[in-house]
Amino acid sequence: MEAPMRKAVHRSSGQSVENQRLSIGQMIKNNMRSSSMVIALILIMLLFQVLTGGILLRPLNITNLILQNSYILVLAVGMMLVIITGHIDLSVGSVAAFVGALAGILMVQHHASVWLTMLICLLLGALIGAWQGFWVAYVKIPSFIVTLAGMLLFRGLTMVILEGQSIAPFPKTFQNMSSGFLPDVFHGGEIHLFTIVIGVAASLLFIVLEWRKRNSQKKYGFAVNPAPMFALKLAAIAAVIMIFTYILATYEGIPTILVILAALIIAYSFVANRTVVGRHIYAIGGNEKAAQLSGIKTKRVTFWVFVNMGVLAALSGLIFAARLNAATPKAGNLFELDAIAACFIGGASAYGGVGTIGGAIIGGLVMGVMNNGMSLLGLGIDWQQAIKGLVLLIAVAFDIYNKNKAS
């Protein structure tokens, strides 16, 4: 009697071990699929690090990467919400140029206050977004047509108010928004100690938040990664944060624009994932008619998504003007295409209802690293455009393949 029982126990324990192995293997596959664009970004960075002889990851170049792509990443955050709702915005580059031109006229020609000018420009961006959102949400004109008209309208208005000329220079306070750095309150000398402290604090905060999230998932019976895999993930991401902040600390520290970007990413990720408004945005993109029947005010949500895009386009225009230290008629050229490409590379669906703020940032970094790497290699703009187009197509095809395989 005892022998059969021992065999049964042995068999059941063997099956549980096998099931655990299968679950661990499945979790690894799922993590690989969900992180496919992160892996692609790492591989692209390693490739250009080798091809450029180690220049890509030097502190100066890392800082330049952040400064050069900040305005595209700001646009990508807003564009992701627009795409999730099932729409598109082709006007953001022209809106950015128009707002930058207005900022130049107010600050350089009329000597207006920097903060007052920025407030006026952001309000103007909101009005432009409201104008376009009205036609899309309430008149039901396709967003492609409305924003194409906006692209032509605001590009023309930019040339009209600038009279075909550039306006420069901007006040130093305004320039610091895009080219300034956080001061080292600890006066560390060659190493920017305040940046190291921020890196340590960010790593600890990430570990605490992930630990609380895991405990909450376990409490409610959700599947979680095995403890060794969870610890490895925490260690890897904390190490990346510390290495990144150390690289910045060996140059000038954390750029001011990186703080603005981090605040936007945290705020919009919270709205998209943790609020009723975020759930409504995803619901509209998934099935607008079903969302409307369930009581969601689809027109109002769509309207405010475009208002938000207008504000972020204005902020992007201010950042670009501050970095260039000039308002020019050609500013914002092709910004909309870079922002849209960043979203689709980052996992957005052309049909709406799918995408994350983090994905948009990853997609924008992929485009930025490619631009920077190819420039360091001396490739002309013609080859850069061709290669970026191919990478966009391959990246999206790879992501769709992984999603189809997972389903």
Q: Are 109 and 102 in contact (CB under 8 A)?
A: no
- Hey, what amino acid is at 141? I
Contact 313, 50 (CB under 8 A): no
Domains of the chain: 59-180+260-401 (1.10.3470), 181-254 (no CATH)
Residue the block writes with tokens 């690894």: 28
In the chain, % helix, strand, coil (3-state, to 5) comes to: 75, 0, 20
Mean pLDDT (whole number) for 23-37: 59
Task: Please report which confidence band the pLDDT of residue 30 belongs to, taking 50, 70 and 90 as the band edges.
Answer: low
Backbone torsions φ then ψ of 181, nearest 5 degrees: -135, 155
Please report the pLDDT score of residue 27 as a whole number. Answer: 54
Q: Which residues of 2-28 are buried (b: 16+ CB within 10 A; e: fewer)?
A: eeeeeeeeeeeeeeeeeeeeeeeeeee
pLDDT value, residue 23: 53
Q: Considering the entire predicted model, what is its pTM?
A: 0.88
Tell me which of 279 and 225 has the higher pLDDT. Answer: 279
Residue 7: per-residue pLDDT: 47
Tokens 């390693």 sit on residue: 46
Annotate 66-94 with b (16+ C-beta within 10 A) or e (fewer): bbebbbbbbbbbbbbbbbbbbbbbbbbbb
3-state secondary structure of 388: helix
Q: Per residue in 289-344, pLDDT tens?
A: 999 999 999 999 999 999 999 999 999 999 999 999 999 999 988 899 999 999 98
Split at pLDDT 50, 70, 90, the class of 24 is low
What pLDDT was estimated at residue 22? 39
d(CA 330, CA 335): 11
Question: Residue 370: is its pLDDT beyond 60?
Answer: yes
DSSP bridge partners of 167:
327
CA distance 206 to 17: 32
Residue 280, pLDDT above cutoff 50: yes
The CA-atom distances, in angstroms, between 324 and each of 106, 151, 169, 318 are 17, 21, 9, 10
Instruction: State the average pLDDT over residues 19-27.
Output: 49
Q: What pLDDT, in 10s, does the model give residues 179-238? A: 899 998 888 778 899 999 999 999 999 999 999 988 888 888 887 878 888 899 899 899
